[in-house]
């Protein structure tokens, strides 16, 4: 499983924890930036990670900004990406089980290392359930 990880400046500290968590759990990952706390624009990193997932270079992505909102909205503009802005472990599980979300987003202003670890554990422990959820996920791509 290859994971692309990105954030904006508000998420850059929590990203360090996420990278260490992925390393500890033996995931293959790449830090797609930013690499300092200098102010950046979250769409740049949301798009970068989402496009890498959509191309198939990575299986999943993880994104953080202050709230997770802006960066998940940006990621969801990329065809084939289903980014879920998650606020607790239950949301993380359901995003995988029901929505086959392929990008996990969360807010650095509302999570510390401990709550982020719980979200990550839940996300990676959960599998897409398919069945009726597959039909609904398929419909996401088709709108006028
Ligand atoms: C940056 O100040 C902030 O707007 C951003 O991190 C994020 O919360 C946007 O959704």
Query: What confidence tens digit (pLDDT) does each residue in 37-87 have?
Result: 999 999 999 999 999 999 999 999 999 999 999 999 999 999 999 999 999
Q: Domain total for the chain? A: 1
Rounded (10°) CA dihedral 65, 51, 92, 138: 140
Please say if 98 is a catalytic residue: yes
Is 130 exposed, middle or buried (CB count within 10 Å of its CB: 0-12, 13-18, 19+)? exposed
Percent of the chain predicted with pLDDT > 70: 99
Q: Whole domain around residue 59: which residue ranges?
A: 2-142
112 CB neighbour count, 10 Å cutoff: 10
Percent of the chain predicted with pLDDT > 90: 97
Q: H-helix or E-strand containing 27?
A: none
Ligand 1 in contact with 106 (CB < 6 A)?
A: no
Q: Is the pLDDT of residue 133 over 80?
A: yes
The CA-to-CA distance between both ends of the chain, in Å, stands at: 34
* pLDDT the model gives residue 144: 66
Catalytic residue among 25, 65, 133, 143: 65
3-state helix, strand, coil in the chain (%, to 5): 45, 15, 35
| Residue 25 marked ligand-binding | no
């Amino acid at each position: 499983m290859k994971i692309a990880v990105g954030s904006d400046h508000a998420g850059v500290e929590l990203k360090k924890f996420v990278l260490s968590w992925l390393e500890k759990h033996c995931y293959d990952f790449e830090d797609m930036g930013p690499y300092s706390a200098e102010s950046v624009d979250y769409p740049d990193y949301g798009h970068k990670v989402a496009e890498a997932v959509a191309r198939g270079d990575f299986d999943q992505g993880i994104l953080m900004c202050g709230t997770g909102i802006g960066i998940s909205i940006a990621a969801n503009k990329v065809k084939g990406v289903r980014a879920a802005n998650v606020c607790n472990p239950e949301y993380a599980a359901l995003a995988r089980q029901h929505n086959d979300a392929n990008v996990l987003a969360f807010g650095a202003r509302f999570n510390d290392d401990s709550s982020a670890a719980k979200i990550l554990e839940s996300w990676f422990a959960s599998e897409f359930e398919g069945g009726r959820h597959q039909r609904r996920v398929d419909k996401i791509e088709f709108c006028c």
